[in-house]
Chain A
Amino acid sequence: MKMRAAPLAIVGAGLALCALPYLRLPAFYESFLYLALYWVVLATSWNLLSGYAGYFSFGHGAFFGAGVYTSATLATRYEWPFLWTLPVAAAVSAAIGVGVGAVAFRVRGVRGELFALLTLAVTFVLATIVGNTPIDGGPGVYLNAVPVPKLGPSATSSLYLMMLAAAVATLLISWTVRNSRFGAGLFAIHDDEDAAEVMGVPTFRWKLGALALSSALAGWAGGIHALFVSYVTTAETFNLTVPLTVVLMSILGGTRHWAGPAVGAVAITCLLFAFTGSSQAVLGKGAIGLILVAGVLFMPDGALSKLLRRPRAQTPVEPPDAVEAPTASVIAPIEEAPRGARAKASTQPVLAVRGLDKSFRGLKALSNVSLDVREGEILGLLGPNGSGKSTFINVVSGHFAADGGEVRLDGRDISGLPAHRIARAGIARTYQIPRPFAQMSVLDNVALAAMYAGRGIAHVDAGRAEARQWLEFAHLEGKADALPGELNLHQRKFLELARALASRPRLVLLDEVLCGLTPSEIHAAVALIRRIRDQGTTIVFVEHVMEAVMALTDRIVVFNQGLVLAEGLPADVMNQPDVRDAYLGVAHA
Chain B
Amino acid sequence: MLEVHGLEVAYGQAGALWNLTLHAGSGELLCIVGPNGAGKTTLVNTIAGLLKPKAGRLVMDGHDITRWAPHRYCEAGIALVPEGRRLFTGMTVRENLDIGSYLPVARGLRRETMAEVLELFPALEAKLQSPAGELSGGQQQMVAIGRALMARPRLLLLDEPSLGLSPLVTQGMFDAIRKISARGITIVLVEQNVAMAMRAAHRAYVLELGRIVAEGLPDDLMARPEIRKAYLGI
Contact = CB atoms under 8 A, between A and B. Distances in A.
16 contacts: A329-B229, A330-B213, A384-B192, A385-B192, A515-B14, A516-B14, A516-B16, A544-B37, A546-B233, A550-B234, A570-B233, A584-B228, A584-B231, A585-B195, A586-B167, A587-B198
B37, B195, B209, B212 — which one has the most chain A CB atoms within 10 A of its CB? B209
A571 interface: yes
A492 B199 CA distance: 41
A512 interface: yes
Interface of B: 10, 12-16, 18-19, 35-37, 160, 162-164, 167, 170-171, 191-199, 208-209, 211-213, 227-234
Given A550-B233, A585-B194, A385 B167 contact: no
B163 A489 contact: no
Interface of B is mostly: mixed
A580 B232 contact: yes
B222 to A, nearest CB: 9
A386 B199 contact: no
B92 to A, nearest CB: 19
A386 B167 CA distance: 15
Contacts of B160: 385
A434 B14 CA distance: 9
Give the 3 A-B CB pairs with smallest separation, nearest first: A546-B233, A585-B193, A587-B195
B35 A386 contact: no
Interface in A421-471: 432-434
Contact of A586 (B15, B192, B195, B212): B195
Contact of A575 (B35, B162, B234): B234
Given A544-B36, A546-B230, A574-B232, A584 B195 contact: yes
B62 to A, nearest CB: 28
B209 A512 contact: no
A588 B12 contact: no
Interface in A109-143: none
B13 A547 contact: no
A571 B16 CA distance: 28
Nearest to B18: A323
B15 A515 contact: yes
A176 B206 CA distance: 58
Given A323-B18, A385-B163, A585-B193, 13 more contacts: A331-B209, A385-B36, A489-B13, A515-B14, A516-B16, A518-B18, A519-B209, A575-B234, A584-B194, A584-B231, A585-B191, A585-B195, A586-B196
Contact of A587 (B13, B199, B211, B234): B199
A571 B170 CA distance: 30
A433 B192 contact: no
B193 A326 contact: no
Interface in A528-577: 544-547, 549-550, 570-571, 574-575
Interface of A is mostly: loop
Contact of B231 (A512, A546, A571): A546
A434 B167 contact: no
A583 interface: yes
Nearest to B166: A561
A323 B16 CA distance: 12
B190 to A, nearest CB: 12
A329 B211 CA distance: 11
Contacts of A579: 232
Given A329-B229, A544-B35, A544-B37, A571 B234 contact: yes
B42 to A, nearest CB: 9
A384 to B, nearest CB: 6
Given A330-B209, A585-B195, A515 B37 contact: yes
Interface string A362-387: 00000000000000000000001110
A406 B127 CA distance: 41
Interface string A87-126: 0000000000000000000000000000000000000000
A72 B87 CA distance: 59
A432 B14 contact: yes
A546 B209 CA distance: 11
Given A433-B14, A489-B14, A519-B209, A546 B229 contact: yes
A575 B230 CA distance: 14
Nearest to A583: B231
Contacts of B229: 329, 546
A544 B36 CA distance: 6
A66 to B, nearest CB: 41
